[in-house]
Amino acid sequence: MNQQVTLELIEPPEIDLAVLWHVLILTGTGLVIVVVDLFYPKKRLMAYIALVGVVAAGLASMAMAKFGDGSYAFYDTIVSDNFSLFFSVIFCLGTALTILISVNYAEREAINYSEYYVLLIFATVGMIVMASASDLITVFLGLELMSIALYVLAGINRASSKSAESSLKYFLLGAFATCFLLYGIAFVYGAVGSTNLNEVASAIREDRLNSSGMLYMGVGLITIGLGFKVASVPFHMWTPDVYEGAPTSVTAFMSVGPKAAGFAAFFRVYLIGFSELSEETVTLIWILAALSMTVGSLGALLQENIKRMLGYSSIAHVGYVLVALVAANEMASPAVLYYMLTYCFMNIGLFAVVIALSRKGEESPFIKGYAGLAVRHPVLAFVMSLFLFSLAGIPPLAGFMAKFYVFSAAISAGYVWLTVIAVVNSVIGVYVYLRITVLMYMTEPEGESPPLPLSPFTLTALVVAVMGTLYLGIFPSRILELARNSGLF
């Protein structure tokens, strides 16, 4: 019996590269570095090329910014809206500052491979994809591109056993967390029949679910996967170990860009895809926020290593940002945009000071080593105090305005007790950061320490970080307005 077979042609997706100009610039820059490295052995040239490419991508992101609902492409899996573009600027800014503090540091620690800059760039590409994703599969693709680059960067110092250990820990735990994320995506697809965030939201709103239990399992597993990437409690155990063992410039990069990318995905998935489940999921995020703030603040109190202390500090700041996610109102997404921008300046600036004060092979400086720093290096002591005060949330610096905006979002949504917990932990954070300041200004220095010659690159990074921290704290209105215009609501 002859059977007639009808082939239905599948319409190819519409290719709209205009929504990916920043990604294309970064990808091209990475490929250029790979090719140039074959003919020009001078590694500093690779840093220059990387810096130019990252700045160009940041300018492209600002040029692409427009008001409206955003442009979708590739079967609605990618969206170019002000929310994603604002985050893209943060990613490019963080990467550019990282490159600046890496030039001399990489040469000093013998990690100035061309791959170092290529990995930084492709990690940034992954971050932008995560922030622009309107589909859970696209979130996964961006996350993996970012994570694989970070696994290698954490262990790029081949002469350091701690660097190799941190890379292995990060890889094993990261792969485990990715399994949770993928399994959660599979559950959501089984419950809804789609991984597109808008379609997931529509199915939940119209009660078109194959299984509500399967959906909630998916939400829980996705929360675990994303919670690991932003280092929220109880998925935070890798953070202090990896921060301590990785090269300091890589730690600075990890503390800002990947964390911001995780929050970009967190907010888009929850405020768009799972928006109709707000009552069911708010308790879960409330608990994560409270635990992260508390464990991070108390953990930082017990640390004697500056990088481990900053690792726990970053966990506490994760809790503050999650407070905005709990609020889930029109102030929530602008609050996280402003918070992550200020965090970029003050955290990378602080790590730049740590790098400037360290010597070759000193990857784990102890806090007591900063005793009497105001006598030995008064300018660096003042700059470090500025960043510490900002992290503590002391006015009129940027950290104060960032916390104020987040706490205002929570108060306006009625989460008073969560705000109280946040304020209490902020007070604990003040002690954590002021402890270092007291050591610098009120303790006698141990031994002699000659003045440190700051490289032009590190000096540029510090100047930019200081100016950003002061400007965002004293004149916040312009950036706050941009953040409000870039919110998801």
Q: What is the pLDDT of residues 141-159, one digit of tens each?
A: 999 999 999 999 999 988 8
Q: Is 313 helix (H, G, I), strand (E, B) or coil?
A: helix
Q: Which of 47, 51, 55, 54 is nearest to 114 (CA)?
A: 47
Ramachandran category for residue 73: left, alpha or beta (phi over 0 → left; psi -120 to 50 → alpha): beta
Q: What is the pLDDT of residue 12?
A: 64
Distance, in Å, from the CA atom of 393 to the CA atom of 432, rounded to the nearest integer, reads 12
3-state secondary structure of 10: coil
For the segment 253-299, what is each residue's pLDDT rounded down to a tens digit? 999 999 999 999 999 999 898 887 767 788 889 999 999 999 999 99
For the CA atoms of 89, 464, 358, 102, the dihedral, rounded to the nearest 10 degrees, stands at 40
Among 228, 121, 127, residue whose Cα is nearest residue 169: 228
Q: Residue 7: how many CB atoms within 10 A of its CB?
A: 5
User: pLDDT, tens digit, for every residue of 35-88?
Assistant: 998 888 777 889 999 999 999 999 999 988 764 456 888 888 898 889 999 999
pTM over 0.85: yes
Q: What sign has the CA pseudo-torsion 100, 106, 112, 116?
A: negative
Residue 446: strand, helix, or coil: coil
- 298-322 tens-digit pLDDT: 999 988 889 999 999 999 999 999 9
Confidence of residue 8 (pLDDT cuts 50, 70, 90): low
Residue 387 has which token pair? 């960043």
Which residues share a beta bridge with 80?
71
DSSP tally for the chain: helices H, then strands E: 19, 2
Query: φ, ψ for residue 71 (rounded to 5)?
Result: -105, 125
Domain ranges of the chain: 17-485
* Residue pLDDT, tens place only, 252-261: 999 999 999 9
Please check the confidence at residue 167 and state whether its pLDDT lies above 80. yes
Measured CA to CA, the distance from residue 31 to residue 217 in angstroms comes to 40
Q: What is the pLDDT of residues 335-349, one digit of tens each?
A: 999 999 999 999 999
**Comparing 43 with 472, which gets the higher pLDDT?**
472
How long is the chain? 489
Instruction: List phi, psi (to 5°) of 73.
Output: -150, 165
Distances (CA, A) of 87 to 129, 255, 430: 11, 15, 28
Distance of alpha carbon 407 from alpha carbon 391, whole angstroms: 15
pLDDT at 44: 85
